Amino acid sequence: MSKRVVLEASHAVAEAVKMADVDVVAAYPITPQTHIPERLAEMVADGELDAAYIPVESEHSAMSTALGAAAVGARAFTTTAGQGLELMHEPVYIAASHRYPIVMAVCNRALSAPISIWCDHSDVMSCRDTGWIQVFCQNNQESFDMTLWAFRVGEDPSVMFPVMVNLDGFTLSHVTEPLLLPDQADADRFLPKYEYRLALKPEAPTSHGGFGLPDIYTEVKFAQEVALRGSRAVLDKGWKEFADIFGREYKAVETYKADGAKTLLVTMGSLGETAKMVVDSKREKGEAVGHLNLRLWRPFPFADFREAVKGVDTLVVLDRCFSFGGPGGPVCSELRAALFDMDKRPKVVGFIGGIGGREIDAETFAYMIDRGKEIAEKGSEYLYEPVLVRGLERGTGVRG
Amino acid sequence: MAPEFVKVGKHNIDAKEYLAPGHTFCTGCGEALAIRLVCKALGENTIIGMATGCDEVCTSPLPVTSWRLPWLHTLFENAAAEVSGMEAGLKAMMRKGKAPQRDIKFVAMAGDGGTSDIGLQALSGALERGHDFLYVCWDNEAYMNTGIQRSSATPYGASTTTAPAGKLSMGQQTQKKNMVEICVAHEIPYAATACPSYPFDLMNKIKKAVEIKGPAYVHVFVPCPTGWRTPSNQTIEIGKLAVETGVFPLYEVENGRYRLNVDPPKLKPVEQYLKPQGRFRHLSPGEISEIQERVTEGYARLKEKATSFPAG
Ligand SMILES: Cc1ncc(C[n+]2csc(CCOP(=O)(O)OP(=O)(O)O)c2C)c(N)n1
Ligand code: SF4
Ligand SMILES: [Mg+2]
């Protein structure tokens, strides 16, 4: 039986970590992630959670400590944001390469300079190719659900990859709203005990982390690539089991009012909630508009995405990150690449906005949809158009 | 510490080799010798976390390994952090019944660069948090793995590839960072220096360090024939000379109390230590006497501590 509670999203993540009965939490505080480690430290101090809470001296050490814990077979969790994720970049890459199923919640935050504590997706985009499974959440319930799911699928013996659970800093991490918490027995049913076959132990010594000469490095990395892509079936199985036990359904690519839609608004993260409201009002006016939420960012769900956009004329994509000097926002260029080989493909129109905590309101989304349709019809000389930049007129953008 | 401490001696040395043959250390490498002895002192109930450096590169070319002990390498600067996670993680699992109860020694190993430069923050954090682990530093006084670049442990006057002796420079212009004192300042229960030229002293310090509860630090002086430009059959001799001249005194600090383990009645002149090494060959008599003065003074200061705050 689940119980209805009112919790901040950060605390919902902490509840999931507790229900996962982690052995080690190693974290370093950074706004807007602080409420997660604070709540976990409190749980440990009160005896609610039997784990080692390690108040490390940096994010680099947070991830390194998680690596050590994972190497001996412990269930390990860490969490960070923005600059913290940048500082830990090096061991983040190791976690996936060593196939340690560490779970990390990232409260997405803009990158310095100038220093900003507010949300965008620049931090996680720099980790795009680190080899982690990466998912995004839209609300508090999802923050809990994805965290519990992350342990389940990451630790699956046929997966063994770390999982990054992204929640938008402040606009999700600090939001308080009702959600359902399962009871421990159901959580245990969903998430079995974790046993790591190759754990470092004296009775059966193994070496982790040898160095790769050119005659083997390629094979090692290719094996990693095959394994990450191969994990997809288990990610879906994890969501299916989750739905069977808890009744909430998740998919790699989720659509809303997409039946018969000619235009889809594409978002990743908590702005999906606002986007769906805008879709509702457009639909009321008789416009064939829907929403596409990209939940799974890595491994990228190519087939699901292509299937979801069949029959759609225009994709209006919002990126919350600049790719300086590049092809436009990282999500938009990914989607374009995914569609390129299709015979009949929708026109992809890219916008960049919601940077460093700037709100994207309903009016702006409505504008993006209208402008997107216009570009799809008439074409555009721009690679993408930034929205809500002071001094930049609507309808102007960045040329390639 | 355990009630009775059984010293390692000629008759009870662990006959097992934990470092398998086939590794690629240079002939006469002091680091390789030290690792072999240290592992014998540690025994099989040990888990090692190692930083990038000669030690790691020479023992782990995939898909083979020289390690007969469980061993982890991830990065250059994080050995202390990864071992923090091993120790805390396995202890939590034992407490929760997820792993069998037993006495495991958690040991971090890193070079002088991985310790006194890039890994200093992680080491300080792990010492301050009080993890029950041993940190061993292999001090060959430069970044050897990448080609003999200077570190903060490179001694004054040594020529390295990034602080070379030249027309305008005598090489390293800074004094060696004192890692043991930095660790002592963290008020850890045990810190010591050692050298494989004194194998039983080294092994007993390692044994003592892991038997003590809490963080311990052992700084091992490991001559490097390749980087120091010494004949590969002189490694033991060079280590001895470092101790006998007072350049690298052997001592231990237990709960802030000092003990000199080898205290020659009269120190040999440092020149005897510097002369056989190519890295010091360019030094002028004036520079050598400057080094002599520093060594004499440093040794006197250490003796004073051993007298004023003697260990039991
Ligand atoms: C972050 C990072 N910076 C630099 C390096 C390159 N690097 C690898 S080993 C090493 C030097 C190691 O020196 P030390 O710790 O003294 O060990 P030694 O090889 O001398 O035993 C350096 C600079 C690296 N691997 N990672
Ligand atoms: S360079 Fe020096 S430390 Fe490295 S393997 Fe050779 S002798 Fe040993
Ligand atoms: Mg070195």
In this structure, which residue's CA is closest to atom 25 in ligand 1?
B76
Phi, psi (deg, nearest 5) at residue A305: -65, -45
- B50, B93, B210: best mutation site toward chain A, by most A Cβ within 10 Å? B93
Which chain A residue lies closest to B73 (C-alpha atoms)?
Answer: A209
**Which of A55, A61, A210 comes nearest B65 by C-beta?**
A210
Whether residue B155 is predicted with pLDDT greater than 70 in this model: the reply is yes
Ligand 2 atom with the shortest distance to the CA of B28? 7
- Closest CA of chain A from B66, distance in Å: 9
From chain B residues 50-109, the ones with a CB under 8 A of any chain A CB are 56-57, 60-65, 67-75, 77-78, 80-93, 95-96, 98-99, 104
Judge whether A133 and A164 are in contact, CB under 8 Å: yes
Ligand 3 centroid–CA B255 distance in Å is: 28
Q: A207 and B60: CB-CB below 8 Å?
A: yes
CA-based nearest residue to A109, from A34, A37, A42: A34
Contacts of A87 in chain B (CB under 8 A): none
CB–CB of A64 and B47 under 8 A? no
Which of B23, B84, B94 to probe by mutation at the A interface, max A CB count within 10 Å?
B84
- What's the whole-number mean pLDDT along residues B129-140? 98
Q: C-alpha dihedral over A211, A214, A215, A220, to 10 degrees?
A: 60
What residues 161-220 of chain A have any CB closer than 8 A to a CB of chain B? 193, 200-202, 205-213, 216, 220
Q: What is the pLDDT of residues B263-290, one digit of tens each?
A: 999 999 999 999 999 999 999 999 999 9
Strand, helix or coil at B278? helix
Contact A71 B60 (CB under 8 A): no
Kindly indicate the confidence band of residue B312, based on its pLDDT and cuts at 50, 70 and 90: confident
Q: Which residue of chain B is at minimal alpha-carbon distance from A51?
A: B92
Contact A171, A81 (CB under 8 A): no
Q: Looking at the predicted structure, is the pLDDT value of residue A292 above 60?
A: yes
Instruction: Kindly state whether B16 is in contact with chain A, defined as any CB-CB distance less than 8 angstroms.
Output: no
Show Cβ contacts of residue B100 under 8 Å, excluding neighbours closer than 6 positions: B94
Do the chains contact at B75 and A64, CB–CB below 8 Å? yes
Indicate whether this complex's ipTM tops 0.95: yes
CA distance B101 to B94: 5
Neighbouring-strand partners of residue A26: A54
Output the CA B227–ligand 1 centroid distance in Å: 14
Helix or strand or coil: residue B299? helix
- The residues, any chain, with a CB within 8 Å of residue A286's CB and separated by 6 or more, are none
Interface test with A, best of B14, B47, B90 (most A CBs within 10 A): B90
Ligand 2 atom with the shortest distance to the CA of B53: 4
What does the pLDDT read at residue A1? 81
User: Does B63 sit within 8 Å of A211, measured CB to CB?
Assistant: no
Q: Measured between CA atoms, how close is A71 to chain B, in angstroms?
A: 7
Contacts of B80 in chain A (CB under 8 A): 61
**Of B74, B89, B124, which is closest to A91 when you measure between CB atoms?**
B74
Could you give the C-alpha distances from A158 to A154, A301, A341, B75, in angstroms and in order?
9, 18, 30, 26
The mean predicted confidence, pLDDT, of chain A is 98
What average pLDDT does this structure show over B182-200?
A: 98
Bridge-based pairing state of the strands A263-267 and B71-73 = unpaired
* Cis status, amide bond into B80, omega within 30 of 0: no
A200 and B73 in contact by Cβ < 8 A? no
DSSP conformational letter for B238: H
- Between CA A150 and CA A191 the distance in angstroms is 10
Domains and CATH numbers, chain B: 5-308 (3.40.50.970)
Give contacts of B68 with chain A, Cβ < 8 Å: 205
Report whether the peptide linkage leading into residue A386 is cis, meaning its omega lies within 30 degrees of zero: no
Residue A63 reports pLDDT greater than 80: yes
Does A76 sit within 8 Å of B72, measured CB to CB? no
**B-chain residues near A55 (CB < 8 A):** 129
Distance between B42 CA and the closest CA of chain A, angstroms? 12
Give residue B3's pLDDT.
63
CA angle B193, B196, B199 (to 5 degrees): 100
Cβ of residue B76 lying under 6 Å from some atom of ligand 1: yes
Residue A255 near residue A265 (C-beta atoms within 8 A): no
Average pLDDT (A100-120) is 98
Would you call B92 and A51 a contact, using CB atoms and an 8 Å cutoff?
A: yes
SS3 B109: strand
The secondary structure element, H or E, covering residue B103 is none
At residue B154, the pLDDT reads 98
- Checking if the pLDDT of B2 tops 80, the result is no
* A102, A70 Cβ separation under 8 angstroms: yes
**Overall average pLDDT of the A296-318 stretch:** 98
Report CB contact under 8 Å: B104, A94.
no
What confidence score (pLDDT) does residue A319 get? Answer: 98
For residue A282, the one-letter residue type is: K
Dihedral of the alpha carbons of A147, A151, A152, A154, in degrees to the nearest 10: 120
Give the integer Cα–Cα distance in Å for A286 and A261.
11
**Chain B (122-141) residues lying within 8 Å, Cβ to Cβ, of chain A:** 122, 124-125, 128-129
State the distance from the centre of ligand 2 to the C-alpha of B182, rounded, in angstroms.
26
* Cβ-based contacts of A26 with chain B (< 8 Å): 84-85, 88
In sign, the C-alpha dihedral spanning B153, B156, B161, B163 is positive
**Average pLDDT for A268-290:** 98
List phi, psi (to 5°) of A259.
Answer: -60, 120
Instruction: Give pLDDT tens digits for A7-57.
Output: 999 999 999 999 999 999 999 999 999 999 999 999 999 999 999 999 999
Q: Give residue B73's identity as a one-letter amino acid code.
A: H
Give chain B's mean pLDDT.
97
Please state, in angstroms and rounded to a whole number, the distance separating the CA atoms of residues B31 and B39.
12
In terms of C-beta distances under 8 Å and separation of at least 24 residues, what long-range contacts does A384-391 make, across chains too?
A384/A319, A384/A328, A384/A329, A384/A332, A384/A350, A384/A351, A384/A352, A385/A350, A385/A351, A385/A352, A386/A351, A386/A352, A386/A353, A387/A351, A387/A352, A387/A353, A387/A360, A388/A353, A388/A358, A388/A360, A388/A364
How far is C-alpha A3 from the chain's CA centre?
Answer: 26
C-alpha torsion angle, residues A299, A302, A305, A310 (rounded to 10): 180
**CA within 13 Å, CB half, B112:** 28
Which of B17, B60, B72, B101 to probe the A interface (max A CBs under 10 A)? B72
Ligand closest to Cα of B34 equals: 2
Q: SS3 of B289, please?
A: helix
Q: Is A89's Cβ below 8 Å from some Cβ in B?
A: no
Tokens of B55: 């030690």
Q: List residues near ligand 2 (CB under 6 A).
A: B 25-26, 29, 31, 54, 58, 140, 144, 224-227
Q: Could you tell me the end-to-end alpha-carbon distance of chain A, in angstroms, rounded to an integer?
A: 55
The 10s digit of each residue's pLDDT in B7-49 is 999 999 999 999 999 999 999 999 999 999 999 999 999 999 9
Contacts of A208 in chain B (CB under 8 A): 71-73
pLDDT at A193 over 80: yes
Domains annotated on chain A, with CATH: 3-246 (3.40.50.970), 253-386 (3.40.50.920)
Contacts of B186 in chain A (CB under 8 A): none
